[in-house]
């Protein structure tokens, strides 16, 4: 057995030596020539600490070299952002000013209508209540998820056994929500609370509040479990922030006689305040991208796919693009409001 292992080891060693010899003899000189050609040509020439770009001399400093390497690392992401995000957004903005439909023979046919798509959306008795429900739901849901995430993160951060198990438990809904499972659970009403549905709370809200306020609140309570599912990532964000706070600060506060309540408001919350904005952006974007049955995104997709010039209900790509841009603007406004409120609180503190 030992002899076999010895022969096997010598066999692999000989293969590695042959590969290295081939690389040193053939590949390395070729790569060196290619590298020299790329850095010594009429367009680009690098000599010592000077870059000659089409006859223009640029001194290579450490700061510029680090910036170059940084852009090289994010280069692929920037290309993907331009091709798959910025270009579709700009093209959608362009289509929103047209009456656009897809035809198998001619592709997308457009007719300029100016701001008519936007005016028609704000006249719609279907879309305006949906946008109102979306705004109110975000205003109610985001603070709820932030508070819930901070509480859970503080509890998990306490020294205890099995901390990683609790992290996994709170993160599991995030994994489920990213796939088709969440759509099936929503269709089966598995994201609701039966005890809440059987009580008179929902009826009380519907009977005593106006429809514009009652409908979003009822929708929020009906999907309370679904809302709390979005707390997985914020919990991890706040937990990472809590673990960065120096423990000596808490020890000094204990010596000064600070209560747990004082430590939370004076040390813990200021220590993670910069992460609240990150969590707000994540929550608003993630909840906005969730496609609900009969929601804004589903109607947008229906207008885009089913729309035809002779249809009285579905108005094509231009109308769908206008809906998407209004939706995006509302999303940005909501995020900006929360971030400005947080910034104003920091300045007062």
Q: Among 295, 113, 122, which Cα is nearest to 219's?
A: 295
26-35, 83-92, 109-118, 162-171: which range is least confident on average? 162-171
Co-location of 55 and 133 in the same domain? no
Residue 177 forms part of a structural domain:
yes
Q: Answer yes or no: do 139 and 47 share one domain.
A: no
Mean pLDDT, rounded, of the chain: 81
Contact 335, 281 (CB under 8 A): yes
Report if residue 238 sits inside a domain.
yes
6 lies in some domain: no
Reported as a single tens digit per residue, the pLDDT across 191-208 is 666 656 666 666 666 666
Task: Judge if 130 and 213 occupy the same domain.
Answer: yes
Residue 166 lies in a domain: yes
CA-CA distance, 55 to 5, in Å (whole number)? 61
- List, as one string, the DSSP characters of 38-97: HHBSSSEEEETTEEEETTEEEE--HHHHHHHHHHHHHHHHHHHHIIIIIHHHHHHHHHTT
Percent of the chain beyond pLDDT 90?
16
Distance CA 245, CA 11 (A): 54
- How confident is the model over 232-239, as a mean pLDDT? 88
CA 157 → CA 148, 273, 276, distances in Å? 14, 16, 17
Residue where one domain finishes, among candidates 27, 44, 60: 60
CATH code for position 175? 1.10.3720.10
269 and 144 fall within a common domain: yes
pLDDT higher at 191 or 79: 79
Q: What are phi and psi of 239, to 5 degrees?
A: -65, -40
Alpha carbon distance, N-terminus to C-terminus of the chain: 73
Residues 151 and 47 in one domain: no
- Pair (182, 285) in one structural domain: yes
In the chain, the number of structural domains is 2
**Do 317 and 267 meet the contact criterion of CB atoms below 8 Å apart?**
no
Looking at the structure, do residues 135 and 284 belong to the same domain, yes or no?
yes
Whether residue 27 is found in the same domain as residue 168: no
More confident position, 140 or 73: 73
| Residue 275 domain-assigned (yes or no) | yes
Q: How many CB atoms lie within 10 A of CB 151?
A: 13
Mean of the pLDDT values across residues 66-78?
Answer: 86
250-306 residue pLDDT tens = 888 888 888 888 888 888 888 888 899 999 999 999 888 877 777 888 888 888 888
Is the predicted pLDDT of residue 39 greater than 80, yes or no? Answer: no
- 217 DSSP 8-state letter: H
Contact 149, 276 (CB under 8 A): no
Whether residues 185 and 53 fall in one domain? no
Of 153, 102, 126, the residue nearest 309 (C-alpha): 102
Please report whether residue 197 resides in a domain: yes
The answer as to whether 105 is a domain residue is no
pLDDT above 80: residue 210: no
pLDDT at 188: 65
Same domain, 49 and 132: no
Q: 146 and 39 in one domain?
A: no
Q: Is the pLDDT of residue 149 over 60?
A: yes
Please tell me whether residues 147 and 36 are part of one structural domain: no
- How many angstroms separate the Cα of 345 from the Cα of each of 270, 273, 301, 332? 11, 10, 39, 20
| 349 lies in some domain | no
**Structural domain that includes position 47:** 19-60
Domain stop point among 38, 60, 82: 60
Domain boundary among 268, 290, 312: 290
- Give phi and psi for 53, each to the nearest 5: -110, 105
């Amino acid at each position: 057995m030992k002899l076999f292992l010895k022969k096997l080891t010598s066999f692999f060693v000989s293969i590695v030596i042959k590969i290295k010899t081939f690389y040193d003899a053939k590949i390395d000189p070729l790569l060196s020539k290619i590298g020299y050609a790329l850095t010594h040509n009429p367009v680009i020439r690098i000599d010592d600490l000077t870059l000659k770009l089409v006859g223009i001399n640029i001194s290579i400093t450490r700061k510029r070299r680090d910036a170059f390497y940084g852009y090289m690392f994010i280069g692929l992401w920037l290309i993907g952002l331009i091709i798959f995000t910025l270009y579709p957004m700009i093209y959608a903005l362009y289509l929103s000013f047209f009456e656009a439909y897809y035809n198998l023979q001619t592709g997308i046919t457009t007719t300029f209508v100016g701001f008519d798509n936007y005016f028609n959306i704000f006249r719609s008795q279907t879309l305006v209540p949906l946008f109102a429900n979306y705004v109110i739901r975000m205003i109610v849901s985001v603070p709820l998820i932030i508070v819930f995430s901070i509480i859970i993160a503080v509890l998990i951060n306490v020294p205890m056994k099995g901390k990683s198990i609790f992290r996994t438990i709170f993160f599991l809904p995030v994994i489920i929500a990213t796939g088709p499972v969440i759509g099936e659970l929503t269709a089966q009403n598995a994201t609701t609370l039966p005890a809440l549905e059987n009580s008179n709370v929902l009826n009380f809200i519907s009977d005593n509040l106006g429809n514009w306020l009652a409908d979003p609140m009822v929708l929020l309570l009906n999907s309370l479990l679904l809302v709390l599912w979005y707390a997985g990532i914020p919990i991890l964000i706040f937990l990472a922030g809590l673990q960065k706070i120096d423990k000596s600060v808490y020890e000094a506060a204990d010596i000064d006689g600070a209560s747990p309540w004082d430590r939370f408001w004076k040390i813990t919350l200021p220590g993670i305040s910069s992460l609240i904005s990150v969590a707000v952006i994540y929550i608003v974007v993630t909840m906005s991208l969730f496609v609900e049955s009969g929601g804004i995104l589903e109607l947008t997709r229906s207008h885009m796919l089913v729309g035809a010039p002779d249809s009285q209900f579905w108005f094509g790509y231009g109308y769908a693009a206008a809906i998407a841009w209004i939706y995006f603007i509302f999303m940005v406004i909501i995020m900006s409001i929360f971030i400005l409120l947080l910034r104003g609180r920091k300045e007062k503190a």
